[in-house]
Amino acid sequence: MIAPLTFAPEVRTALDAGRPVVALESTIITHGMPYPQNLETARAVEAEVRAHGATPATIAVMGGKIHIGLTAAELETLAQSENAMKVSRADLAVCLAKGAVGATTVAATMICAALAGIAVFATGGIGGVHRGAEDTFDISADLAELGLTPVTVVAAGAKAILDLPKTLEVLETNGVPVFAYGQDEFPAFWSRSSGLPAPLRADTPGEIAAAHLMRARLGLSGGQLVANPIPPEAEIPRAEIVPAIEAALAEAAAQHVAAKEVTPFLLAKIYALTEGRSLAANIALVLSNARLASAIAAEISAAQH
Ligand code: PSU
Ligand code: MN
């Protein structure tokens, strides 16, 4: 039995030739940003990967297949879709078996990238341990996936809608190396600082690639998390973002938002409350992560060929 994968021709060609490929997720498109910024960002991220010498592979589920790389029309359909499933590890097989349209989270994108032979994946933020998890048990499946599936994920840290110390603890429990890129502190998505030291620090794409390849030689399951600080010019001051986060969390609690709806609900509220400023920052950091991921993918492919 083989997994139902279908490759965009340029992705298939790049993988066969051992050239660098960067996987991209699709929940950020359907549940992470509003239309049309979601589509513009998805296109811009793909262009950024190309401009940095790698081939982008945006991943989504359509027609009973895992698509590794989307056509322009497929990307547009997904960006406008209002009923795409948010697909994590738990939903992936169900979505495929039903033939439904599914947007892959960080966890599901990692699974699909590994099946396709792609080592590196760029996104904005990962899911984590939600604030109040001691009562709700709301811990993203992304954290378990990082402990299981051998993909290096480049993100801007985790959003301050989450409990960052608990998120780092769960990553450590799951055996996930967490690097801050170019600094000692773990970055917090909209801001370069979180007040928390990162477990590890990396200053070059080459050392991240070397660690990725060494994990494979050791037969260790699981990937790596690279936390790339938002570019300084795009950073949002804490004084601006903290009230929006608090208001969004309070509204989620008042409306009893739970399970898969929590993260999309909070993101949408925060965009609205900051009048799009947080969305502009989100776009800038995803582009920056795409550049770093392309450089890491290039180092991995150079070391293998
Ligand atoms: N965090 C963000 N933006 C996002 C997400 C998280 O800042 O778009 C998306 C990603 O797809 C991530 C998912 O994998 O939400 C996590 O959802 P949950 O917390 O339900 O696991
Ligand atoms: Mn959750």
Q: For position 1, what pLDDT does the model report?
A: 74
159 among known catalytic residues: yes
The CA 160 to ligand 1 mean position distance, Å, reads: 13
Contact 110, 121 (CB under 8 A): yes
138 Cβ inside 6 Å of ligand 1: no
Architecture of domain 5-304: 3-Layer(aba) Sandwich (3.40)
Structural domain boundaries in the chain: 5-304
Neighbours of 126 (CB within 10 A): 26
Q: 122 in helix, strand or coil?
A: strand
294 Cβ inside 6 Å of ligand 1: no
Q: Which ligand is closest in space to the CA of residue 126? A: 1
In angstroms, the CA 298 to CA 296 distance is: 5
105 Cβ inside 6 Å of ligand 1: yes
26 Cβ inside 6 Å of ligand 1: no
157 Cβ inside 6 Å of ligand 1: no
Q: Which residues pair with 65 in a beta bridge?
A: 62
pLDDT in tens, the chain (305 residues): 799 999 999 999 999 999 999 999 999 999 999 999 999 999 999 999 999 999 999 999 999 999 999 999 999 999 999 999 999 999 999 999 999 999 999 999 999 999 999 999 999 999 999 999 999 999 999 999 999 999 999 999 998 899 999 999 999 999 999 999 999 999 999 999 999 999 999 999 999 999 999 999 999 999 999 999 999 999 998 888 999 999 999 999 999 999 999 999 999 999 999 998 999 999 999 999 999 999 999 999 999 97
Nearest CA to ligand 1 atom 21: 140
141 Cβ inside 6 Å of ligand 1: yes
Ligand 1 pocket test target in 105, 112, 153, 191 with most atoms within 8 Å of CB: 105
Q: Let me know if 210 is exposed, middle or buried by CB neighbors in 10 A (0-12, 13-18, 19+).
A: middle
The CA 304 to ligand 1 mean position distance, Å, reads: 31
The CA 13 to ligand 2 mean position distance, Å, reads: 36
Which one from 46, 48, 145, 159 is the annotated catalytic residue?
159
Ligand 1 pocket test target in 26, 27, 121, 236 with most atoms within 8 Å of CB: 27
The CA 45 to ligand 2 mean position distance, Å, reads: 26
Give yes or no for a cis peptide into 187 (omega within 30° of 0). no
**265 Cβ contact partners less than 8 Å away, ≥ 6 residues apart:** 248, 252, 255, 257
In angstroms, the CA 158 to CA 234 distance is: 16
Ligand 1 pocket test target in 24, 126, 260 with most atoms within 8 Å of CB: 126
Q: 166 in helix, strand or coil?
A: helix
30 Cβ inside 6 Å of ligand 1: no
274 Cβ inside 6 Å of ligand 1: no
Q: For position 204, what pLDDT does the model report?
A: 98
**191 Cβ contact partners less than 8 Å away, ≥ 6 residues apart:** 160, 230, 235, 236, 237, 238, 241
Q: For position 107, what pLDDT does the model report?
A: 98
25 among known catalytic residues: yes
Where helices occur in the chain by DSSP H, the ranges are 9-16, 27-30, 37-51, 72-80, 92-98, 106-116, 133-136, 141-146, 164-173, 205-217, 238-254, 262-273, 277-304
